[in-house]
Amino acid sequence: MNDFFNRGPALGLRLVLAIACSVGLMFVDRYTESSTQVRSFLTSAVSPLFYAASLPESLISGASEQLMSQQQLLSENHQLKARLLNQEAQLQLLTFLQQENDKLRALLGSAPVVQGQRLIAEVLAVYSHPFAHQVVLNKGTNDGITVHQPIIDEKGVVGQVVSVGPTSSRALLISDNTHAISVRAERTGVRTVAEGLGQSDRLRVIHLPLSTDIREGDRLLTSGLDGRFPEGYPVAEVTQVIKEASQPFMTVYAKPYASLDRIRHVLILWPGSQVEAVRQAEEEN
């Protein structure tokens, strides 16, 4: 027994060392700014594991696509074409409206809303701990992704990029405990903040005085005031408003439009101002 742990320090000392290191790491990760760089580096180090883990699923889905019958493919193609036509028609109207809007904004002397660039990314089917609402995307710095870029899907805002590796990146969802997003009610224009609760189907809208006009069914859009999310994207629908006279604020819950627990494809956005900055930098060079 005496020579049992005779290489290196004793077990108790090792435990103390390990605990000290972990506490240091937690502190650095939670309370300092350098953590995004550390995390980005570590994410790039483990990204082969992500790809290896998602391999079986991508193989199966690839095989099922191969085995799809021609009949099915044709009918799907038909449906998609019909949908595209429909949306093209709507888009024509939108272009007209946008031009009109730009003109009106010019008349008012306010800056026009710049349409940013976007990129489609796939969510790698890997697990995240229930404590952390995050997803891994298959795009990274090689595709020009940077930290803090907003992510949306076809229904609404999904989250933002928090760490980037060369071929993969990690995004924080709006339902995470540590996430909050600045929103505006579409009907009344009330500006407020929606924070995550760690549940994929519920957000909490905070700091609303009792006299605020907000109802169940109100649409909450991004307000653009946080400087991260561009203005006007749908975030959530108000599902529950609880008014208690003894409380200074109302308790308001909202349901995100994006189905956060089963996202497969997302759009990564480059906010207009960033695109402008890049363009300016290119002109200067």
Partner 1 sequence: MRPAQGIGFIYLSLLAALLLTVIPVPFQFSLYRPDWVLLVLMYWALALPRRVNIGTAFFMGLLTDVLVGTVLGVNALAFSVVAFVVAVNHLKIRNFSVIQQSLLMGLMLALYQLLLFWLSHFLTGVNFRAAYLWPVLTGMMVWPWLFWLLRRYRRQLKIQ
Closest to partner 1 by CB, 18 or 94: 18
Query: Helix 35-67 crosses helix 11-31 at what angle (to 10 degrees)?
Result: 90
Ramachandran sector of residue 20 (left: φ over 0; alpha: ψ -120 to 50; beta: rest) = alpha
Question: Which strand (E) or helix (H) includes residue 162?
Answer: strand 157-164
The answer to whether residue 114 forms part of the interface with partner 1 (CB under 8 A) is no
Binding track, positions 132-161, relative to partner 1; x by CB under 8 A: x-x---------------------------
Residue type, 184: R
The answer to whether residue 45 forms part of the interface with partner 1 (CB under 8 A) is yes
Beta-carbon-side half-sphere exposure of residue 147 (alpha carbons within 13 Å)? 14
Ramachandran sector of residue 246 (left: φ over 0; alpha: ψ -120 to 50; beta: rest) = alpha
Closest to partner 1 by CB, 17 or 278: 17
Binding track, positions 159-198, relative to partner 1; x by CB under 8 A: -----------x------xx------------------xx
Q: Which of 3-11, 62-70, 107-115, 235-243 is the region at the interface with partner 1 (rule: CB under 8 A)? A: 3-11
- The strand pairing partners of 241, in sequence order, are 252
- Cα–Cα distance between 159 and 137 in angstroms, integer? 12
By CB under 8 A, name the binding residues for partner 1: 3-7, 11-12, 14-15, 17-19, 21-26, 28-30, 35, 38-39, 42-43, 45-46, 49-50, 52-54, 56-57, 125-132, 134, 170, 177-178, 197-198, 261-262
